[in-house]
Amino acid sequence: MPEPGKRDATEKPHHAGHRERLRIRFNAAPEALPDYELLELILFRTIPQRDVKPLAKDLIGLFGGLAGVLHAEAQRLREVKGISDATITDFRIVREAGLRLSQSKVLKKEVISSWSALLDYCSASMAHNALEQFRILFLDRQNVLIADEVQQTGTIDHTPVYPREVVKRALSLNASSIILVHNHPTH
C-alpha cells in the first residue's frame, strides 16, 4: 500500500482516458461542451500525452474566453508555458475556419435581409483585433455581398481612411453600394 498522498506505480493517473471520454462527449453533443473543453480538444493535437485541462483553463482565463485565445497575438501565446508554434498554428486554423463559416452566411446573399448574420460576421472577424481596422463591404444591386476587404489597419486607437481609395475600389468591383465597418479594440 502506498504512502498517503502518493500513487502506486500501477495506479493510473486521474486523467487516464480523459481524452477519449471528451471526444465521445464532443461527438454526442458538441454544443454541450464548455469552451475550455473545446480548447482541450484543440490542444490534444499538438500536446500529446499530457493533461491539458489546466492549460486550457489558464488560457481561457488569461485571454478572456475561447475567442480571445483564438485571436490572441502569437507573441503573447508564446509567453504561455506549453504553447508551441504548432499549437498557435492550430489556433489560427480553427479561427480561420470559423471566420469562413460565418462569412459563408453573408457572402453571395442579400445582406440587408440578413442583417444579424452580417453583424455576427463583422463581430467574429474584427471583435478581438488588437489594432483598429477599417473594412469595406461591397454590395451589388440586389444588396448581395460581393467582397469584404480590409482597407486600412491602424494603431490601437487610430485608423486612417482615404475616401478616394474607397471610391476607387468600389468602382473597380462595380459595387452599387458599400457598408463601412470600423472596430474599437478593447486591449
Torsion angle, CA of 81/89/32/116, rounded to 10 degrees?
A: 120
Residue type for 184, please? H
Q: What's this model's pTM, rounded to 2 decimal places?
A: 0.59
In this prediction, residue 106 carries a pLDDT of 60
Same domain for 132 and 94: no
Last residue of a domain, one of 67, 101, 135: 101
Last residue of a domain, one of 40, 68, 101: 101
Question: Is position 5 within any domain?
Answer: no
Same domain for 84 and 126: no
- Domain housing 172: 110-182
- Tell me the average confidence (pLDDT) per consecutive run of 10 residues in the chain, 187 residues long: 56 70 89 92 90 94 91 93 95 88 65 71 72 84 83 75 88 91 70
Number of Cβ within a 10 Å radius of residue 143: 15
Same domain for 22 and 97: yes
In this prediction, residue 107 carries a pLDDT of 62
Question: Is position 58 within any domain?
Answer: yes
In this prediction, residue 119 carries a pLDDT of 79
CATH number of the domain residue 129 falls in: 3.40.140.10
Last residue of a domain, one of 81, 101, 121: 101
Same domain for 124 and 52: no
Domains: count for the chain: 2
Question: Is position 6 within any domain?
Answer: no
Strands 145-153 and 133-139, bridge-based pairing: antiparallel
CA 111 to chain centre: 22
